[in-house]
């Protein structure tokens, strides 16, 4: 029997849905197309099979997610992951925080930033640029009105260019989306 | 690289003009803005709305915009509500003070929307059970969640762009 976990971790947990995933062998052609699989393919996560209940949104959302997190240019990959973690910590999405903290660690080979964030949240001791990015993502996530011109100025003072700031806004906002699916439609679990 | 659509809701709502540094940054991400617009259409006006009508979607969207103190975006969704030709009971859902008491299904949609849009960290398994108890299907729970989740994203992109513009 699996157990729900409530504490932040960089070890990626499993995910147990609270609503029914679609069954691949009963999927419509449109669902299979959105999932980019054939009925014989069994390696589709329960999360994606849950989202396939709303196939029209899933179909457009997957390429949007990939573009925001992996597009060329703009803000670096690791900083987009930091932004995702900022949102996920505020929204207490343990699953998303684990996935994106572990990607950050892989990309930077530095585990201290995530350790500090999981231990101290918005009070974490980070360098100026990391702190500006993390705090902006966290405040925008709590409520859009919490992020202020001062927070935006802190990004500019830390040397972020317009294209980087746009990627930060997009990745933090994207996790306002992802957290509301992952955190509400299922539970992070360990066996 | 594709061009930015002149009808892009997010760019219009953020008040980004035809020139300037924010516009230039957005042009570099024209693909993302186009996909954002496509997800808006998929979440608000899907060709198969399932058990969540276009009118209910527009009303919930206006409500979420108001819960986030974005009256201009709420006005956009009120126009969609009008377009959907929704009846009075559906239109009432757009007002955050209204709780649809007496209609178990709509009351559950509103309670879930209010919680997820403003306090997602406080959601529990019981919130999903409450939707099921009100007779809402698993597929419609996912549709409702996607609508709420998209709105959280859209509202934040607009707010972020406004700050970017203000400090440019």
Is the pLDDT at B49 greater than 80? The verdict is yes
Cα(B136)–Cα(A168) distance, rounded to whole angstroms?
A: 36
For chain A, the domains span: 3-71, 77-179
Helix (H) or strand (E) holding B98: none
- Residues near A32 by beta carbon (within 8 Å), at least 6 away in sequence: A38, A39
- Bridge partners of A15, per DSSP, are A188
Residue B52 to chain A, least CA–CA distance (Å): 11
Using a CB-CB distance cutoff of 8 angstroms, which residues of chain A are in contact with residue B28? 73-74, 163, 166
Higher pLDDT, A62 or B152: B152
Cβ contact, residue pair B156, A152, below 8 Å: no
Assign A186 to helix, strand or coil. Answer: strand
Is the pLDDT at A41 greater than 90? The verdict is no
Q: Pick from B26, B31, B152: which is nearest to A180 by CB? A: B152
* Cβ atoms of B140 and B51 closer than 8 Å: yes
Q: Pick from B32, B141, B152: which is nearest to A170 by CB? A: B32
The upper half-sphere exposure of residue B87, i.e. CA atoms within 13 Å in the direction of its Cβ, equals 2
Q: What is the pLDDT of residues B81-129, one digit of tens each?
A: 999 999 999 999 999 999 999 999 999 999 999 999 999 999 999 999 9
Cβ contact, residue pair A73, B69, below 8 Å: no
At the topology level, CATH places domain A77-179 in: AhpD-like (1.20.1290)
Is the pLDDT at B8 greater than 80? The verdict is yes
């Amino acid at each position: 029997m699996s157990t729900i976990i409530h504490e932040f971790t960089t070890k990626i947990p499993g995910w147990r849905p609270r609503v029914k995933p679609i069954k691949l062998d009963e999927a419509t052609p449109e669902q299979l197309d959105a999932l980019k699989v054939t009925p014989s393919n069994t390696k589709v996560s329960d999360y994606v099979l849950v989202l396939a209940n709303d196939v029209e949104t899933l179909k457009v959302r997957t390429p949007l997610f990939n573009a925001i997190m992996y597009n060329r240019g703009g803000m670096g990959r690791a900083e987009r992951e930091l932004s995702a973690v900022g949102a996920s910590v505020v929204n207490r999405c343990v699953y998303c925080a684990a996935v994106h903290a572990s990607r950050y660690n892989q990309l930077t080979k530095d585990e201290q930033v995530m350790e500090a964030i999981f231990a101290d949240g918005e009070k974490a001791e980070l360098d100026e640029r990391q702190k500006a990015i993390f705090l902006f993502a966290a405040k925008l996530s709590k409520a859009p009105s919490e992020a202020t011109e001062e927070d935006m100025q802190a990004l500019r003072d830390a040397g972020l260019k317009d294209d980087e700031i746009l990627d930060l806004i997009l990745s933090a906002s994207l996790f306002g989306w992802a957290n509301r699916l992952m955190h509400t439609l299922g539970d992070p679990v360990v066996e | 690289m594709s061009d930015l659509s002149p009808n892009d809701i997010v760019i219009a709502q953020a008040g980004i003009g035809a020139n300037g540094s924010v516009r230039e940054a957005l042009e570099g991400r024209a693909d993302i803005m186009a996909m954002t617009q496509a997800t808006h259409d998929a979440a608000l006006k899907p060709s198969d709305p399932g058990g969540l009508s276009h009118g209910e979607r527009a009303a919930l969207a206006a409500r979420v915009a108001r819960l986030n103190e974005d009256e201009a975006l709420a006005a956009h969704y009120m126009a969609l509500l009008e377009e959907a030709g929704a009846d009075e009971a559906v239109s009432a859902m757009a007002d955050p003070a209204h709780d649809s008491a007496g209609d178990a299904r709509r009351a559950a949609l509103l309670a879930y929307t209010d919680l997820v849009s403003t306090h997602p960290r406080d959601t529990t398994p019981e919130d999903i059970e409450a939707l099921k108890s009100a007779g809402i299907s698993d597929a419609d729970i996912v549709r409702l969640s996607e609508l709420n989740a998209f709105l959280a994203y859209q509202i934040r992109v607009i707010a972020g762009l406004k700050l970017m513009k203000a400090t440019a």
